[in-house]
Amino acid sequence: MAATPSWPNLAQGNTGKNVSALQCLLNFRNNNTALAVDGSFGPAVYNAVVAYQRSNGLTANGVAGSATLSKLVSTVQRGTVNNAARAAQYLLSKFESLSIDGSFGPGSVTAAQSFQSKMGIAVDGSVGPTTWRYLFGYSVYPGGTDPEPPVTGGFKDYRGQDILTATQLQLLNENKRFYQKAEQEVGIPWQVLAVIHFQENGLKRTGPSNGDGPYQIWGSSYPVGSLTDQQFQTATNDAARFVKSKAGSVDVNDDYEVKRAFFKYNGVAGVYKTQALNLGFTSAQANVGEGSPYVMNRADARRDPTVEPTKSNRTWGQIKTDAGSLSYPANSDHGAFLVFAALR
């Protein structure tokens, strides 16, 4: 049996699925008040926690700890359809693949049973007090069930600045199981998929309004708005296949192959090859994206649009609209290869 975890202390500034579950439970306890479920503990969540604490005789400090969480939860079982079921699904999705729809059906019961079995607690497919505590208290299965340790993102750019923020790292680690499953099925390294997701949609598991999905595969018809786990996994697998169709296999230990994969995914633009040559790179280097901001933005002073003289000398531009021409300077985002380096 896995060690009994402590309840977390959720407070302003926290993000992730524990917060999404908290938001669902607050909606459940407040007659389904439409508190946005976005996984971000901001002022609205703080106010809702304080209000709940006051109405239930708890210390009204705005922190959802053991006393608050243990009172918020409600037993969820097969057939439960409400925001408590949705909260349980958000927590289960840290460990198992299932849809988050607020209806605790067969798929949710199976996920709960799998979680309970792996944790060594009573297996009944329902989410009662003990299962709630384990779901909130763990982020991955104990004993290294997660294929790799969480990404910490220690790599910095040439100016010593972080590539990824703490919030971005948390989102990436929450999504990692989807990238890894796609790697198992298609053969494209999960790090490559994570970087493309970061570049194209900021690691959000949503479908943008253009219908091109979270990986922005042009001409697609993905759902718009929040995606279920299954929809996001399908989109991730599609992105892996798209990378493979453009770049073939990718060896994460070969910088040339990694840069080439990102360059091909973004579209091999001749102006970027010319830009690389103008900056003194060889033809071979130009062909893998050394002149592409999508791939190499902020890799060094020559390609950093946030500093002088690059900021003003019109030597480092970017195509910022479909079928557009170079605009100066390029945007301020780190290039895909730098983000990739932060994951190694």
Residue 197: DSSP 8-state: H
Q: Cα(66)–Cα(71) distance, rounded to whole angstroms?
A: 8
HSE, side-chain direction, 13 A CA sphere, residue 73? 27
In this structure, the number of other CB atoms found within 10 A of the CB of residue 184 comes to: 11
Q: What is the reported pTM?
A: 0.60
10, amino acid identity: L
CA dist., res. 296 & res. 120, Å (int): 47
What does the pLDDT look like over 158-170, one tens digit per residue?
Answer: 999 999 988 898 8
Q: Is 307 left (phi over 0), alpha (psi -120 to 50) or beta?
A: beta
In single-letter form, the type of residue at position 324 comes to G
Report pLDDT for 33.
67
Give the contacts of 330 (CB within 8 A, at least 6 positions apart). Answer: 293, 297, 303, 305, 316, 317, 318
Question: Which alpha helices (DSSP H) does the chain contain, by range?
Answer: 17-29, 43-55, 66-72, 83-92, 106-119, 129-137, 166-186, 190-201, 229-247, 255-266, 270-278, 283-286, 293-296, 336-343
DSSP per residue over 135-158, as a string?
A: HHH-SS-TTTTSSSPPP----B-T
- Amino acid 25: pLDDT: 96
DSSP β-bridge partners for residue 318 = 327
Give the residue extent of every domain in the chain. 17-137, 149-344
The CATH fold of domain 17-137:
Muramoyl-pentapeptide Carboxypeptidase; domain 1 (1.10.101)
Residue 146: predicted pLDDT: 46
DSSP 8-class letter at 327: E
Please, are residues 181 and 212 in contact by the beta-carbon 8 Å criterion? no
pLDDT value of position 147: 42
What 3-state DSSP class applies to 63?
Answer: coil
The list of the chain residues with pLDDT below 50 reads 144-148
Q: Report how far residue 22's alpha carbon sits from residue 277's, in angstroms, rounded to the nearest whole number.
A: 53
Report the distance separating Cα 282 and Cα 289, nearest Å. 11
| Residue tagged 């296999």 (tokens) | 249
What is the per-residue DSSP string for 70-88? Answer: HHH---B-TT-BSHHHHHH
